[in-house]
């Protein structure tokens, strides 16, 4: 009788710490490896930096195109840009091609 009472008391004393330890282990695991854990945070940070770089590139391209459009507005047309566009349209030029004008006979 005495042995079963001490064994029961021993195991009942371990129930609360075992539940607490398992809860700590569960939440600790998901803090590190869960869908919103530390490993997911590093992955999200890497994807964010790639997206920010892409946004910077797109913003730079947009500013460049807005500047070219501003050069073609009536009243402030840039003759060099008009000539460049005309050469591209009429001669079918490729980048780096040089057009040499011929003398008229």
Domain chopping of the chain, boundaries: 1-33, 44-93
- Which of the two residues, 49 and 88, has the higher pLDDT score? 49
Q: Check residue 93 and give its pLDDT.
A: 61
Mean local confidence (pLDDT), 1-29:
84
Q: Over pLDDT 90: what percentage of the chain? A: 44
Is 40 a residue whose pLDDT tops 90? Answer: yes
DSSP per position, 6-70: HHHHHHHHHHHHHHHHHHHHHHHHHHHHSTTSHHHHHHHHHHHHHHHHHHHHHHHHHHHHHHHHH
Tell me the whole-structure pTM to 2 decimals: 0.54
Q: Chain-wide mean pLDDT for the chain?
A: 85
Is 18 a residue whose pLDDT tops 80? Answer: yes
């Amino acid at each position: 009788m005495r042995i079963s009472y001490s064994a029961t008391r021993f195991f009942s004393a371990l129930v609360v710490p075992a539940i607490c330890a398992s809860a700590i282990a569960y939440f600790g695991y998901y803090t590190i490896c869960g869908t919103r854990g530390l490993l997911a945070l590093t992955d999200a940070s890497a994807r964010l930096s790639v997206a920010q770089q892409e946004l910077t590139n797109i913003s730079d391209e947009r500013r460049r195109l807005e500047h070219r459009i501003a050069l073609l507005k009536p009243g402030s047309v840039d003759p060099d840009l008009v000539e460049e566009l005309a050469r591209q349209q009429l001669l079918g030029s490729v980048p780096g091609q040089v057009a040499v004008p011929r003398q008229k006979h």
